[in-house]
Amino acid sequence: MNVSLILIILLVGAFTTYIAGDKFASKVALFFSLAALGCSIVVLNHYNLGENISLINQWITKPNVSFALKADGLSLAMLLLTTALTPIIIFSSFGNDYKNAKAFYALILFMAFAMAGTFLAADGLLYYIFWELSLIPIYFIALIWGNGDAEERKKAVVKFFIYTLAGSLFMLVAFVYLYQKAGSFLIEDLYKINLSAAEQLWIFLAFFLAYAIKIPLIPFHTWQAKVYQKAPTVGTMLLSGIMLKMGLYSVIRWQLPLAPLAAKEYMFIFIAIGIAGVIYGSIVALRQKDLKKLLAYSSLAHVGLIAAGTYTLTLDGLNGAVLQMIAHGFVVVGLFFVAEIIFRRYETRVIAEMGGIRAQSPKFTSMFLILVLASVALPSTFNFVGEFTVLYSLSQINIWFAILGGTTIILGAYYMLKMFQYAMLGETNSKLFADVTANEGITLVLIIAVLFFFGLYPKPIVDLITPSLQEILTQINRIN
């Protein structure tokens, strides 16, 4: 099975969407995104049958760069997350009118192409190219179709672009250094390099800077809340649902195996940074009056816990982190879509200006409540599986890490339920809140179905990712 077909579908889809014109752009984009999802499922079936899903072709002779793609269980899980969320995000946007819609939807598909390439790349330079390409579409999506004051939006988006680009340059320098040691950018060749402890520390820090900004981890998070708030909801969904997972995935795929000595030596520091993000994000979320900013800081808290799980260097920690990445992707897209539905009717994101929605739309209220409970890891939801596994892995390292990390559940339950109370309950609002449309209902039901299905039966994903994570742990432990 040629895995590059998925990238071709998304890239051709981007161009076709643009050519189709504004009238048909959304439908054409949805078609190609569903085609990419279907192709991903076919690749998964081939992988489950034991087929080697890889492609390696010489691309550049000097330096030695290959167009190398490889789909193992870990990359397939992230690829499926990307190709499953992309059509949901596109479909959710059908209730909005966008100027120059052909460019808007073409950029969404191009971004999906770049993110899928990042998850599949098995050559360091190719991976870096896809990593950087993903910045371009989200920059224009947020800048052109964002909301609020144009000058503030421009400042927020430019800050995000410069931060992430600058951090990525350190990663590029690290790849160049590794290339000089290996004579190749292929990941299998880079894994074979024996670096000294000092070399590994610098490589580890170079990758960390790129990933900490993208995830983001504190204190590299300062771009996040403003961009999430100013970007159109589709852009926020792409950023929070998929793009930040590129950083978390890359920690597992690239950073830890390439610098295992540094990862082990400074494990406690980087777990502590992740836990600090949990506490900081939760406390700041408590004080937010804007719904999108509250969800942004809530996301910061959740990804801090995921990052802490990855740095435990245990199978439980890595398993829990990947499960939580996928669960977080679906629940955060659902929550931001809820914020968009409310904005469509009330034209506000200020929580104090909402209230009384339950009396007018009980169906919407029920679906919103389910998403809120999923976000705080209610048992039987997907988030519970990932968070419990991560907290268990943290307890094996130090019980205090688990206790402090658990604040994401306690504080999260408080600020999310408090937000739900003010936004949805109380006396009937004087503004009319029309019940959910078919488009909105289908989108929310699909997300909720995924959260419950894998919350009750996570085995397919666990079976998919565990062999790949065991191989990565073997690589990490090859040097004691």
Q: Where are the alpha helices (DSSP H) in 135-221?
A: 135-145, 150-182, 187-191, 197-214
Instruction: Say if CB 223 and CB 216 are below 8 A apart.
Output: yes
Residue 463 CA to residue 76 CA, distance in Å, equals: 12
One-letter amino acid identity for 146?
A: G
**For residue 66, what are its two tokens?**
């290959």
For the residues of 90-126, what is the DSSP string, one character each? Answer: HHHGGGS--TTHHHHHHHHHHHHHHHHHHHHB-BHHH
The Cα 458–Cα 451 span in angstroms is 10
Q: How far apart are CA 187 and CA 197, in angstroms?
A: 20
CB 331 within 8 A of CB 239: no
Q: Would you state the structure tokens that stand for residue 325, as one six-digit string?
A: 């990445």
**Phi/psi zone of residue 194: left (φ > 0), alpha (ψ -120 to 50 degrees), beta?**
beta
3-state secondary structure of 47: helix
426: alpha, beta or left? (left if phi > 0; alpha if psi -120 to 50): left
Please name the residues in contact with 203: beta carbons below 8 A apart, sequence gap of 6 or more: 174, 177, 178, 195, 258, 259, 262
Q: How far apart are CA 162 and CA 151, in angstroms?
A: 16
Closest CA to 194 of 181, 205, 204: 181
| Pairing label, strands 54-60, 65-70 | antiparallel
Q: Along the 480 residues of the chain, how does pLDDT read in single tens digits?
A: 688 999 999 999 999 999 998 889 999 999 999 999 999 999 999 998 888 888 888 888 888 888 999 999 999 999 999 999 999 999 999 978 889 999 999 999 999 999 999 999 999 999 999 999 999 999 999 999 988 777 888 888 888 889 888 889 999 999 999 999 988 899 999 999 988 999 999 999 999 999 999 888 888 888 888 888 888 999 999 999 999 999 999 999 999 999 999 999 999 999 999 999 999 998 998 888 889 999 999 999 999 999 999 999 999 999 999 999 999 999 999 999 999 999 988 888 888 888 888 888 889 999 999 999 999 989 999 999 999 999 999 999 999 999 988 877 888 889 999 999 988 887 777 778 888 889 999 999 999 999 999 999 999 999 999 999 999 999 988 765
Closest Cα to residue 329, out of 231, 409, 245, 249?
A: 245
Place of tokens 């999310």: 416
**C-alpha–C-alpha distance, residues 120 and 47, integer Å:** 14
Summary count for the chain: helices (H), strands (E): 24, 2
**In the 8-state DSSP scheme, what is residue 432?**
-
Only one residue has tokens 């996570």, namely: 458
Distance CA 466, CA 472 (A): 10
Asked whether the beta carbons of 71 and 120 are under 8 A apart, the reply is yes
Amino acid at 12: V
Angle made by CA atoms 32, 99, 15, in degrees to the nearest 5: 30
Instruction: Tell me the HSE value of 417 on the side-chain side, using a 13 A CA sphere.
Output: 11
- In the structure encoding, which two tokens stand for residue 71, read together? 């789909």
Side-chain-side CA neighbours of residue 475 (13 Å):
21
339 in Cβ contact with 233 (< 8 Å): yes
